[in-house]
Amino acid sequence: MMVLYSGITCPFSHRCRFVLFEKGMDFEIKDIDVFNKPEDLALMNPYNIYDHTRLKFVAN
């Protein structure tokens, strides 16, 4: 399953959501507070910069 890290007001992540919904992809959305980022996002992004949209693939 994919995890979409997404900004609440980010137009780029909303576009990504639309595409994933239209393609019928199975994914989970995690809304990010840019001032309080989760630790797992920091592990994927060592510079700890919020870059609008981040996808993570998780094996079930």
Tens digit of pLDDT for each residue in 4-57? 888 888 888 888 889 999 999 998 888 888 778 777 777 777 676 655 555 565
The answer to pTM > 0.75 is no
Other Cβ atoms within 10 Å of 41 Cβ, number: 16
Q: Where are the domains of the chain?
A: 2-57
| CATH 3.90.550.10 matches 2-57 | no
Residue 52: which region, alpha, beta or left (left: phi > 0; alpha: psi -120 to 50)? left
Contact 53, 10 (CB under 8 A): yes
* DSSP string computed for the chain: -EEEEEETT-HHHHHHHHHHHHHT--EEEEEEBTTB--HHHHHH-TT----SEEEEE---
